[in-house]
Structures are given as C-alpha cells and as structure tokens.
Chain A
Amino acid sequence: MSTLAIWADVYKQYWRINFLTALEYRANFLVWFAFTFIYHATALAALYIVLREFPVMNGWSFSEMAFLYSLWMLAHALNNTLFLTVGDVPEHVRDGEIDRVFVRPLNPLFQILTTPQQIFPDELILAILLFILATIWAKPIIDVWFVIFMPLVVIGGALIDFAINLLIATCAFWFVKVDGLRWVAFQLEQEFTRYPISIYTKGVRLVLTFLLPYAFMNYYPATFFLDKTENALHLAPQVGLLSPLVGVACFCVAYAFWRVGLNHYEGVGH
C-alpha cells in the first residue's frame, strides 16, 4: 500500500471510532452539544444586548459583528473538529505517553491528530448555520470571489488556530507546564476576535496581525467581504484574501518548530 493510502485508511478508521463512540455515549454527547451551543449563544446574546443599546462599534453594526463572529466560529470549529487533540501533547509529554508515537511507523503529528476521542462535528454544523444566518443579515457582496475564497479563508483560519496551538504544545518538550501560555493565546483567540481589532491600541493590533495572526481568522476577511474600510492598520481590504496563505505559512513555521521539539525530546530520552 502506498503511504497515502495508509494515511487515508487510518483516518477513515479514526472517524469511524469517533462516530461510534458518540453513538455509544449518547447522553454525554447531548450534554457536550448543549455545552457548545450555550457557549456561543451566551457570547452572541451579550453582543446583541450591548449593540441594541449602542448601535455601532467603530462603524460595525450587530449584523456585521455577527458575521465577524461566525467567520471566527467556522475556522475555530473546523480546527476543533480536525486538530483538537494537539492540545493533549503537553499531557502526553508529562505522563510519558508521547513515547508511543515514536515507536510506530507513522508520522508523529498524524498519530497525535488521529488519537481517538469523542469528537463529533457538531460545533462545525452550528457554525455553518450561524454563518448562513449572519450572511443573510449582514449582506456581504456575494459574487464569484466570495464563493471561491470563503472556504479557503475558513481553512486558512483553522490552520492559523491549529498552528498556534501546535507551537504552544511543542513548548511542552522544554517546559513541562504550558498552561499559562495556553491561557493567554486562548483568551486572545476567543475573546479578542469578537470585536473589530480597530478598537484596540496599536500594539495589540500589530500582535493580532503579525505575531499571533488571529485577525486573519475573521477581521481582515470580514472587512473585505463586507466592503468596509480597514482602519486598524490602514491596509488594503484585499489583505483579507491572504488568510489561506497566512494559514499555510503559520503551519509551516509551527511544523518546523514541532520537528525541532521532537528531536530535542528524543535527545533527552537517550
């Protein structure tokens, strides 16, 4: 069998196990579904209530902010569906479980990403529903660019999210505990992306654009598709179309760092 066929087969088996587990633990699945739903519902409800009292935020209305949120949620949910297990790496390093991936003849990162657990694409489905609603409300220009670029932007966004999680997880090869670091990134990703980044001070805008480019998950693409002027760093709105490239670049950097981390860890073991 070719390598690719092996990968495809492993991946198929992995999803089969995920679905079977979800079917087996139905009550648990329902509770976690409620959990996901309430998390996003309370975030959106808070936005709605505030923007009823204050109709605009730096030129953004509630429907546009909902579109901003839905773009982030799509990328975030795609990351959570495909790449969530990378967050377990620090724990595997701590308890020694990580050694397992070295003795098997398959790419270590691929093995981490196919560690079965109870993952079901429920968040992704919710994200797509919200995206459809937000698109109807916010009325972005729907043309051929929208149709071609939107899926790419979402994949790029998921790669950005994934790459930063991978970078942080890789730090565990040097420092055993990376929870603090993870919290900061988590907060920047989940809470700072809820608003147009033009409301922040210059330093934070630069960080969210160049250092931890979460702004490419939603702010820049939303600015382009909603035909708004970009007034955070005064860039051309077309910058939003770079999200897929930014995602791929982030992933390459993170993957290179991951390789360095793996070699370092193996070095320690001997």
Chain B
Amino acid sequence: MRRGFRIEPYLEFAKKAFAREATYRMEVFTSVGSLVLRIYLMRMVWLALYAQNVAPQGIALHQMLTYTVVALLMSLILEVDGTRLIRDRLRDGSIATDFMKPTSPALFYFSDGAGQTALHAMLILPSLGFALLMVHIDVPSPLAAAVFFLSFAIGYVVNFFLNFCMNCVAFWTMETFAIQLIVRWCSDLLSGQIIPLLFFPGILERIVLALPFAAIYSTPLLIYIGRITPAEYAGALLSQVGWLVVFAVLGTIIWRAAQRRLVIQGG
C-alpha cells in the first residue's frame, strides 16, 4: 500500500483463479447437472403441494416456482466459498509466503474469490436454459429487476464476508470444514434459499427476517417476485447494507487478530 496501490496484480490473481476453476470440468458439469435435478425436484414438490392446498401467504404457484428457480440459480454464485484459499494455505503453511509478497494478502484472497465467482456465474446461463425447459419463470418489471441485481450484489458481499470470517477461524482451529457446513445448512434454511421466510410460523418469521441470513437470499428474492414493493425498496436495501457493514467490520477485526496470531505462531 505504501508504494501506491495498483490494481493489475489483483486482476491477474482473479484471472488465474478463473482458469484454475475452469480446469475442473467434471465438477462444473456436476454442479449444473445437480442443479437441474434439484429444479425438477422442487417443481414436482410445489406442484404437488399447490394441487391439494390453497396458496398460502398469497404466494401463487407461478411466484413460488419463480422464487425457487431464481434461488437455485443464485446459489451457483452464493455457494462458492471465495476465501477457502485461506484454509488451504494455512494447512500447508504457504500462507507465510502470501504475507511476504508485496501485495495485500486479504485483497489477494478477495480477487481469487472474485475469479472463482466469475466462472460459476457463467454457469447461470446454461442452467437457466435447462430450467426454462421445465418451468416458466416470471419476468419482473425493469425497476424490480434493477433493484434485484443491486440487492443480490449486496447479498453476495454479505455472504462473502460471512465466509471470510468463517475461514479466518482456521487461524485458530486449522479445521473449519464441519463448522462451515453446519453454518451453510442453517443459513440455507434461515436465508430463505429453500423456502420463503414468509412461511415461518408467527414470531419465528419476524426473527428470521431480522437475522443477517435474510440479507443473502430472502431480500433479493422477495424483490424479484414483487413481495417487497417499490415503496419498501429503500428500507430493504438499507438493512442489507447495515449487515454488510457489520460483517465487514467483524471481518476486519478477525483479520487483524488472525495476522497477530500468525506472527506469534511463526515467531
């Protein structure tokens, strides 16, 4: 930083991460295939449920299917653990060299994550193609679409920092795999990825809507299907930004402590 900030090295890191992810071709196909299976499954589940019951919470079948498919497409990006590199490099010790380089280690991990995300974002198009063969997806108004993308972007950063904090825990415990999966499953349920948070009973609904997980999936999705109206956009985005700030600050604190910890381990 002292020598003046240059963006080029970070773009190069991102490009390398993109190329690295692209070499795991089988994994890429598997993630699209698994998504297609899940879209089929959820389509059949909601069809069966709507066939015998009254639409709850005023969410019609077509809205529900749209919600589910968009949530699954979003998960292609949101399930990327952008900073898992921290964990890997801690385990094999190469993290030390990251701190010796003239670039910022945190920004190095961030750009690596951005590169991985870019590759997975490219899978959205073919997946959307397959999805459209099975289900009809509502198209939102241009305003709703624009606000959805903005909200999704904020949710992405919230999720990114949440993962970053989790990966930094490895500075203390080395192993975070099980804990991360536990948090992932809870977050899948509490963020509205699997089912809309509006379905949660009574007081629970208000609690889950107030938790940070809602900022990841629920807010953008409810904007997409029109349950958050234009009059509510500002409030919804503001609460997302609030969580972003909280996690960014938390991430910074943990990162500082982690750096100290690394020095102690090395000394």
A residues sitting closer than 8 Å to B (CB atoms) are: 31-32, 34-35, 38-39, 42, 45-46, 49-50, 52-59, 177, 179-180, 183-184, 187-188, 191-192, 195, 199-201, 204
Contacts and interface: CB of A to CB of B under 8 A. Distances in A.
B44 A200 contact: yes
Contacts of B53: 53-56
Nearest to A39: B185
B45 A183 contact: no
A184 B52 contact: no
B153 to A, nearest CB: 27
B248 interface: no
Minimum-distance CB pairs A-B, first 4: A53-B56, A199-B48, A54-B53, A54-B49
Nearest to A47: B195
A35 B195 CA distance: 21
Contacts of A204: 40, 44
B52 A57 contact: yes
A56 B48 CA distance: 9
B150 interface: no
30 contacts: A35-B182, A38-B182, A38-B186, A39-B185, A42-B185, A42-B186, A42-B189, A45-B189, A46-B194, A46-B195, A49-B195, A49-B199, A52-B201, A53-B56, A53-B57, A54-B49, A54-B50, A54-B52, A57-B48, A179-B27, A179-B30, A180-B29, A184-B33, A191-B41, A192-B41, A195-B48, A199-B47, A199-B48, A200-B44, A204-B40
B26 interface: yes
B200 A49 contact: yes
A82 B81 CA distance: 32
Nearest to B183: A38
B262 to A, nearest CB: 22
Main secondary structure of the interface of B (DSSP, over half): helix
B181 interface: yes
B188 interface: yes
Given A54-B53, A57-B52, A199-B45, 20 more contacts: A31-B179, A34-B182, A35-B182, A38-B186, A42-B186, A42-B189, A46-B189, A46-B194, A49-B200, A50-B49, A50-B199, A52-B201, A53-B53, A53-B199, A58-B52, A177-B26, A180-B26, A183-B30, A187-B38, A204-B44
A180 B30 contact: yes
A232 B68 CA distance: 25
Nearest to B54: A54
A238 B16 CA distance: 58
A261 to B, nearest CB: 20
B37 interface: yes
Given A46-B195, A49-B195, A195-B45, A35 B181 contact: yes
Contact of A201 (B44, B57, B201): B44
A184 B45 contact: no
A89 B33 CA distance: 24
A180 B33 contact: yes
B34 interface: yes
Nearest to B37: A187
A204 B53 CA distance: 24
B178 interface: yes
Contacts of B45: 57, 195, 199
Interface in B200-244: 200-201
Most buried by A among B30, B47, B179: B30
A54 B189 contact: no
B179 A38 contact: no
Contacts of A50: 49, 195, 199
Given A32-B178, A35-B181, A183 B34 contact: yes
A265 to B, nearest CB: 21
Contacts of A183: 30, 33-34
Nearest to A30: B178
Contacts of A177: 26
Contacts of A46: 189, 194-195
B56 A54 contact: yes
Contacts of A184: 33-34, 37
